[in-house]
Every structure is written in C-alpha cells, then in structure tokens.
Structure 1
C-alpha cells in the first residue's frame, strides 16, 4: 500500500474513531445516571408461553425476576382437556419504572377438577431470582417489602377488577398467593422441593376445593399486617414439607406491606427459626379447576428483601 493510500485510510478511520469515542462516552454518561444506553429500542413486547414449565427472565436494569407457567400437576403424557398460557410483557431497553419493578404478566387457563389427592394443576408464578439476596438467614432480614395489584376475571381478557360471584359461577377453584421456602441448609432453602418449610400468604381464595393444608384442624393464630387480618394454618404436604399458610380475611387485590412479620414467631408452631434461611420468594396463582377460561392479571408488582 502506498503512502497516499495510508493517508487516505487514516483520514477514513479518524472520524470513525471519534464517533465511537463519543458514543462510548455518551453510553457511560447515561449508565452512570441509571438511563438506558443510546439508540436502544424502547419497544414493549408481549410474548405467550404455553409450555408445561419454562423459565422466562426478561432483561432488566434492576432486580431480576423469572416467570414460569409451572404446570407441575400435569403428567408429561397428559392429553386431557384444559390448558394454561402465560403472557409476559417486557421492555426491550430493560428499563422499568423502579429497580424493584417486575414485568407485567397474566395467565389464561381452564382445567377440569383433579383428584382430591392432587387437585392442583399448576402454580404459574413470578419469583425474585436467588442472586438478588438469597439465601439469607432470617435473623439477618430487616424487611421483606411486597407490593402487588392483581385481578381475576372470567374470559380471555385481562380484568380490571375481581368479581367473586362471577368466578364462583364459573366453578373456579384457585388462589392468589405469595410463596416462600426456607431451610436450615442454605442450599436446600433455594429449592421448592428440597426445602423443609413452605410459608404461603394467600391474598385471595376462590372455590370450596381451594383449602390451605391444615384447614380442618383450625387456625393456629391470627395476625394483622398493614390493616389486613391473616389466619394461620399448618400441615404437611405430599413431599413431607411443613406448610404454614396465612389466609387473608377477604380478597385483597391491592396489598403493600412488609411481610417479614409473617415469618417471625413461627418456631413454636412448627415453623422455621430465626437461624433458618429464606431462599425463595414468589407470587402467583394455584390453578385447580374452572368450567370456562379465566384470566389472572398482575399489572404491578414489587418484591425486595432488605438485609440488616
């Protein structure tokens, strides 16, 4: 290559290098202020997932969440009626309103009643990913901030509010629940099947077949959290896990509270101690049965575990 060609190439590369430098500087400036990178798509997309189980983790600049249709109560060779699909709305620029904001999601489902020994077909849910803070010893938890707005309705359209009478007319058996797992072993605490304890907080209960484990033995205690009264039930599930379920009085479609107190004081009731570890925090709906399609919609959700 001659001298003239080298000079020409140098003049060509110079503006490219300057442009790249300016873009990298602009990107660093925006990232330092929590802004999305320049020239990133602001597209909002909604995708549908009907798999039995499938992890969906939309990109985010804040806390990471994973969603799952989680149709765990359906056998692999099941060919019967019914089904469930999950819709997840995500921002391609990975920038949500706050660092704790979760993606919006909904489910539409219908299943016939299952056997009394296994009435649950699925627990579609969204969970806070372990890397956020888990596992964490209960004694080191300062607060568990939880905020959710949700609605359940008959049909395929996202509902604005929950009409309990309409759900009962559709023979709906379901709940809306916060789900936590704990164990003395931090590795087992992050597993929904290996953990020794499951602590649930039910914000809605529909249908006579939807019963917390231990309902027949009666409530062990009652506790109020941010104006909502909860009754506690205790029993063991089919995996031998100790299940403690807080059931709200009525249907609570908007709930904003520190749910940490619902983990405290459970030791003498067959629950975890302050030395056990919390490894799993999720929010979803157990799908038992319905005579027609019904839709659960969660437009707003925040979960955050604050350590001491």
Structure 2
C-alpha cells in the first residue's frame, strides 16, 4: 500500500524594518559547532529568550497569545505575524497538519536585529488538499560571536507522519520553489548580485534527523545523524561541514547534481550534507522537483574508507524529523525569504 502525505506552501510577505550593522565574518567550524549545540525544536514557546532552542514543547495559532500582531483579514483569511523567539505555530486544520516556527534560538539580549515570520490562515480551517498556510520570513541581524553565529533556523516541519523506518519508505517527493530578496517584499527571482551587495550570509536547506532508536530520531539533540539537503549557500559563514574535505559521493536527480560532504558537529553528531552543485561555490538552486529518497539510500552503501572513523546510517534506522527553512546568520540589509511552492510527499 502506498500512503502519501503532502504539503504545499505559497509565500506571502510581511516585514518590520529594524536598524543594524554587520561585524566581522565567522568561520565554518564555529558555524557548525553552534548549530550543533541547539536542536531545531526543543523547549517551550518563549518571548524573552529564556528557552530559545525551538518550539516542539508548545504550539499556537492565530490569536493564541505570544508576541503576535494580526495584520490583515481579507476574504476569509487571517494574516498573522510572529516575532517570537520561538513559537510552534500549528494552525487549526481539517486537512493536513504541520508546524511552523520562527525558531530564533541564537538570539539573546546582545543581539542587534530582528526576525518575523508571517503566516496566513483560513478562518474556516479548511485548506485545499495537501495545502498549508502561506508563509514568509523577513530578517536582518548583525554578525554574532564565533561561538554562536547562527541566529535562527526559521522553518516548516512535517507533522503526524514521522518517525518512519527508512526501509519502509518508497518515495520522498519534493516540489520546491523558493526565493530570497533584499528588502521587505517577496522577490519573484533571486538576484545573486543584490544579495552579495547586502552581504547576506544564510542558507536554504532541508534538515532531517536519523537514529536507530525511534525516540532519539525525533530529537535534534540526541539523534546520531543529521542529514541535510542544501539548495543555497550565500556568504562565507555558511559552508557545510566537511566542505574542505572534498565530496564523498555524487548523485544526479532530475537535472540537479548533489555532492555529499561529511563530518561531525560540535555536539558529536555525524552531519551528512547533500549540496546542490550550484550552491557548493556559493550559488543557489531555486527550483527542484523529484524524489530525494535516493539521497538517503545512497548513504547505506558509502565506502567506509572514505568516511574515516564515521559510520553511515543503515536502512533499519528511523527518520524522526524533517524540516525545510533558512538559517539566518547576518545581513547588512533586511532580506525576505519566501516560498512560492513547497510540496513534500512521503510515501510508504
């Protein structure tokens, strides 16, 4: 039997400008050590930075409290802005379930800058088949310290599907189109020149956690493996772990070639990053359509001699978490990340 679960996201923009300036660049080792120290979703919702690690501990929707501001109501929709450090946004829905989160886990009292996520929900709680609320992220931050250069991983996460045994899956279908633009409006296309001028340092990536233990696979801190699929790398602060150690494998999927980089983060997790070749050299891939499940199954057969002291995952492991979003490092100007289309269909 084939069971499909899908999400489609269309982006809409809301932005609040805040002043700031950018400091010095930070290195790759500090970047990954910092991202490894915090899970994507851990702890409760917070406005004051007391637990900025993510929002699996609580969820909210339009009008549920927190640092939210309802900005408009048009034709049965409610557009709500979330500027919380961490807030699990799970809008009431009679169809698919999902959770969005600003996830500003690297923000504290010394941070200069701001980030807000906008989510547009249907008041009747009824969405077209496999369709989630529209969302976008607008942000600007100064460079953080080398010990914590990442300010946020704002993302949308698949709900009520995982964990799944890897060998029970047949397909992990992705239909993706995103853009990054300078300013407070969604860009129709991404301009490399504009983002370079803004000194933007960020990435766009899918982030997954795997482990032989089903419970650990659901926890971004305890899982043995972090598997990423990168579609963009902007700025020198956002290089994937293992980039300096050369690619360990290559896989072509529907016209896009991915290189695999492997290493350990500061938390001791094995990080395996498939990076679109356009992004390896600091570029981007705005659109992708196809099955990315081979990027998981290829890991089983990696040559151990290429991995040194690292062990690859096995087909008996579990996929416990899957999210898509952007890591906010720093930018001289406000930028907007928007997703005109995102469909993830996990089939077993």
Report if TM-score (shorter chain) is over 0.5: yes
Q: What is the match of residue 220 of structure 1?
A: 248
1:156–1:293 CA contact under 8 A, matched in 2: yes
The answer on whether the counterparts of 1:102 and 1:302 sit within 8 Å (CA) in structure 2 is no
Greater Cα shift, 116-125 or 197-206: 116-125
Q: Is the 8 A contact 1:110 1:294 kept in 2?
A: yes
For the 8 Å contact 2:111–2:144, the answer to whether it is kept is no
Structure 2's unaligned 5+ residue stretches are 1-73, 279-283
C-alpha separation in 2, matches of 1:66 and 1:48:
15
Q: Deviations over 1:144-174 (max 9, x none)?
A: 1122221100011111111011001100000
Alignment match, 2:68: none
User: What runs of 5+ residues in structure 1 fail to find an aligned partner?
Assistant: 1-40
Q: Is the 8 A contact 2:111 2:141 kept in 1?
A: no
Aligned to 1:287: 328
The answer to which of 265-274 and 203-212 deviates more is 265-274
TM-score w.r.t. the length of structure 1 is: 0.81
What residue number does 2:85 align with?
Answer: 52
Alignment coverage as a number of residue pairs? 262
Give how far 1:194 is off.
1.4
CA distance change for structure 1 residues 152 and 230 in 2, over 3 Å: closer, same or farther?
Answer: same
**Any idea what SS the aligned residue of 2:319 has?**
strand
1:233 pairs with one of 241, 258, 261: 261
Equivalence for 2:154: 124
- Matched-pair contact (CA < 8 Å) for 2:228–2:273: yes
CA shift, 1:94, in A, is 2.5
- Cα distance in 2 for residues equivalent to 1:116 and 1:262: 31
* 1:243 to 2:284 alignment: no
Measured after TM superposition, the shift of residue 190 of structure 1 is 1.0
1:153-232 matched pairs, under 5 angstroms: 153-232=181-260
Assess if the C-alpha contact under 8 Å between 1:105 and 1:299 holds in 2: no
- Aligned mates of 1:69, 1:271 — CA distance in 2: 31
For residues 185-228 of structure 1, give each alpha carbon's deviation from its aligned partner in whole angstroms, at most 9, with x where no partner exists: 00111111111111000111111211001111111111111110
Match of 1:306 in 2: 347
What CA deviation, in whole Å up to 9, does each residue of 1:107-134 have, x standing for no partner? 11111112334321110000001x2x21
Q: Retained in 1: the 8 A contact 2:152–2:329?
A: yes
Alpha-carbon shift at residue 271 of structure 1 (Å): 2.8
Flag the structure with larger Rg: 1
Match of 2:111 in 1: 80
Poorly superposed stretches of 4+, deviation over 4 Å: none
- Match 1:71 to one of 104, 123, 138: 104
| Paired residue secondary structure (2:81) | strand
TM-score (normalizing by structure 2): 0.72
Q: Secondary structure at the match of 1:171?
A: coil
Counterpart Cα distance in 1 of 2:194 and 2:241 = 26
Contact 1:42 1:93 in 2 (8 A): no
> How far did residue 42 of structure 1 move?
6.0
Determine the C-alpha separation between the residues in 2 that align with 1:83 and 1:247.
28
Q: Confirm or deny: 8 A CA contact 2:175 2:288 kept in the other structure.
A: yes
